[in-house]
């Protein structure tokens, strides 16, 4: 596996080494010793899957208590995945990193605890998998508007159409600076 640092400390792109032959392919998607060597938590306590249709945008979500680290991968389809630094004490506060993750490119995205996270579905459908370092506590969850003008994420919206949002995400507020 190749671990690629991003401009946000604690956010990494992970590219597996894929072994292909006439039967198909094989790759390691997790190996504790390599993750530990790259400062990535390896104790996952919850694994989540979601399926979404094209144009769905989920996020930007975070938990202010019990923050979750997330190891992201896509089992089918393609998404644009985003991590946002929400720590006011950080030199990269309100900065973001986005990456296209697909079943085809098999990239993974590590988002350390304390970042907001969201994704947008580019393919007809996408099945999304994330392993979390803490449990989901809805009472501690907050959402930031996907189109917050301070964060200013360049979402690759299909045909510049409004994304499909949940009620919670439609009611999300801008980040407070």
Active site residues: 61, 130
Q: 13 exposed, middle or buried (CB, 10 Å; 0-12, 13-18, 19+)? A: middle
Q: Do 144 and 117 contact (CB within 8 A), yes or no?
A: no
Q: In what order do the strands lie in the sheet with 108-111?
A: 2-5, 11-15, 108-111, 70-76, 125-132, 46-53
Spatial separation of the C-alpha atoms in residues 136 and 104, rounded to whole Å: 29
Spatial separation of the C-alpha atoms in residues 110 and 13, rounded to whole Å: 6
Spatial separation of the C-alpha atoms in residues 100 and 56, rounded to whole Å: 15
Task: Locate all alpha helices (DSSP H) within 21-166, ordered by sequence.
Answer: 32-37
């Amino acid at each position: 596996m190749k671990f690629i640092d991003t401009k946000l400390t604690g956010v990494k792109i992970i590219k597996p080494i894929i072994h292909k032959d006439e039967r198909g392919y094989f790759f390691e998607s997790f190996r504790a010793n390599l993750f530990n060597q790259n400062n990535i938590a390896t104790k996952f306590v919850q694994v989540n899957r979601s399926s979404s249709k094209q144009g769905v945008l989920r996020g930007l979500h975070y938990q202010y208590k019990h923050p979750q680290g997330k190891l992201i991968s896509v089992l089918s389809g393609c998404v644009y995945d985003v991590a946002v630094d929400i720590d006011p004490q950080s030199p990269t506060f309100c900065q973001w990193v986005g990456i296209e993750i697909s079943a085809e490119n098999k990239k993974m995205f590590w988002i350390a605890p304390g970042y907001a996270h969201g994704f947008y579905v580019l393919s007809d459908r996408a099945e999304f998998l994330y392993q979390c370092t803490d449990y989901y506590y809805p009472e501690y969850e907050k959402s930031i508007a996907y189109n917050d003008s301070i964060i200013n994420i360049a979402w690759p919206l299909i045909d510049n159409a409004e994304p499909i949002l949940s009620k919670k995400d439609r009611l999300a507020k801008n980040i407070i600076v």
